[in-house]
Amino acid sequence: TVIARKEVQLSGGVINTPQLLMLSGIGAPDELAAHGIQTRVNLPAVGKNLQDHVSVILMYRRRGPGPFLHNMRADRIGLDFAKTYLTGRGFSGDVPGG
């Protein structure tokens, strides 16, 4: 058992926070009523506009060093920073992950 003297903020991430709010009675009254939950705060936006952010990790082996290591030399990257700053294009403006 936990007793709070003031307030408690509970977060469950992108997916579970709206669920926790709705289970607590915060959300669209018609949707809460459909699940037998009493509305405490009429806030229809809770749980809406959720968008997936797809993320894929690819792992592979190269036979040679490839362009990333080729361009990451100190003499090349310094010049490329300037090129990217001036033109908006260049290796340092699009560094691959991994």
Annotate 1-40 with b (16+ C-beta within 10 A) or e (fewer).
eeeeeeeeeeeeeeeeebeebbeeebbbeeebeeeebebe
At 96 the pLDDT is 60
At 98 the pLDDT is 45
Mean pLDDT by 10 residues, the chain (98 residues): 86 83 94 96 89 75 77 81 86 63
At 94 the pLDDT is 67
